[in-house]
A and B are shown apart, each in its own frame.
Chain A
Amino acid sequence: MADAILNPGDAIDEAAYGPRKRGAGRWVVLAILTLLLLLVLFPFFLALSNSIKSTVDYAANGPLSLPTSVDFTALKKFWDVADFGRKLLNSAIISLVVAVFGVLISLLNAYAIGIGKVRGSRVILVVLLIGIMVPQESIVYPLYYMAKATGLYDTQLSVIIIFAVLQSAFGTYLLSSVLGSFPKEIIEAAEMDGANRWQILWQVVVPVLRPSLMVVGTFFFIWTWNEFLIPLVMLVSNNNQTVSVAMGLTRGQNMSDPTLQAAASLLGMAPTLIFFLIFQRTLTRGVVVGAVK
Chain B
Amino acid sequence: MATPSGASTEDKRSYYLYLIPGAIGFIAIVLLPQIANFALSFTAWKGVGTPRFVGLQNYEKLLTDGQFWGSMSHTLLFVISMTIIPVVLGLVLAALLFDYIRDEFGETVSSLFRAAFYLPQILPITAAGVLWGWIFNPVGVVNIILRAPGLDGLAQNWLGDATYALPAVSLVIVWIQVGYCLVVFMAGLSRIDPALYEAAELDGAGWWQRLVTITIPLLAPEIFVVVLTTLIAALKVFAPIFVLTAGGPDNATLVPSYLTYYHFFTTQRVGYAASIAVVQTILTIGLAVIFLRFQSSQAGKE
Contact = CB atoms under 8 A, between A and B. Distances in A.
Binding between chains A and B? yes
A138 B264 CA distance: 11
B22 A168 contact: yes
Contact of B288 (A6, A130, A258, A269): A130
B124 A229 contact: no
Given A143-B33, A269-B123, A191 B18 contact: no
Given A118-B16, A166-B29, A268-B126, A284 B115 contact: yes
Contacts of A291: 180, 226, 229-230, 233
Interface in A149-165: 161-162, 164-165
Interface in B27-49: 28-34, 36-37, 40, 47
B292 to A, nearest CB: 6
Contacts of B131: 43, 46-47, 262, 265, 269
Contacts of B22: 105-106, 108-109, 165, 168, 172
Contacts of A269: 123-124, 127-128, 131
A113 B246 CA distance: 43
Contacts of B123: 226, 268-269, 272-273
Contacts of A265: 127-128, 130-131, 134
A288 B239 contact: no
Contacts of A138: 33-34, 37, 274, 277-278, 280-281
B141 interface: yes
Contact of B175 (A40, A195, A288): A40
A176 to B, nearest CB: 11
A228 B225 contact: no
A268 B238 contact: no
A4 B257 CA distance: 55
B101 A2 contact: no
B170 interface: no
B5 A194 contact: yes
B6 interface: yes
Contacts of A195: 5
Interface in B94-129: 96-97, 100-101, 104-105, 113-129
Given A29-B100, A135-B236, A135-B280, A165 B122 contact: no
Contact of B280 (A46, A137, A143): A137
A11 interface: no
B223 interface: no
Contacts of A206: none
Interface string B261-283: 10011000010011011101100
B25 interface: yes
Contact of B15 (A118, A162, A169, A272): A118
Q: Give the interface size bracket for A toward B.
A: 35 or more
A136 B125 CA distance: 16
B212 interface: no
Interface in A241-270: 243-245, 247-248, 250-251, 258, 261-262, 264-265, 268-269
Nearest to B22: A109
Interface string A166-189: 101100100000000000000000
A132 interface: yes
B213 interface: no
A130 B288 CA distance: 7
Interface string B127-150: 111111111010111001100000
Given A62-B144, A165-B29, A292-B291, A22 B125 contact: no
Given A33-B101, A138-B280, 20 more contacts: A33-B113, A40-B116, A43-B135, A108-B22, A112-B15, A118-B19, A130-B292, A137-B273, A141-B264, A141-B274, A165-B26, A191-B7, A226-B122, A229-B238, A247-B124, A248-B126, A250-B130, A261-B133, A268-B126, A268-B127
5 contacts: A29-B96, A137-B264, A141-B33, A141-B40, A269-B128
Interface of A: 1-4, 6, 8, 13, 17, 22, 26, 29-30, 33, 36-37, 40-41, 43-44, 46-47, 62-64, 105-106, 108-109, 111-113, 115-118, 124, 126, 128-146, 161-162, 164-166, 168-169, 172, 191-192, 194-199, 201, 222, 225-226, 228-229, 232-233, 243-245, 247-248, 250-251, 258, 261-262, 264-265, 268-269, 272-273, 275-276, 280, 283-284, 287-288, 291-292
Interface of B: 1-8, 12, 14-19, 21-22, 25-26, 28-34, 36-37, 40, 47, 93, 96-97, 100-101, 104-105, 113-135, 137, 139-141, 144-145, 175, 178, 180, 183-184, 198-199, 201-204, 225-226, 229-230, 232-233, 235-236, 238-239, 242-244, 246, 256-257, 260-261, 264-265, 270, 273-274, 276-278, 280-281, 284-285, 288-289, 291-292
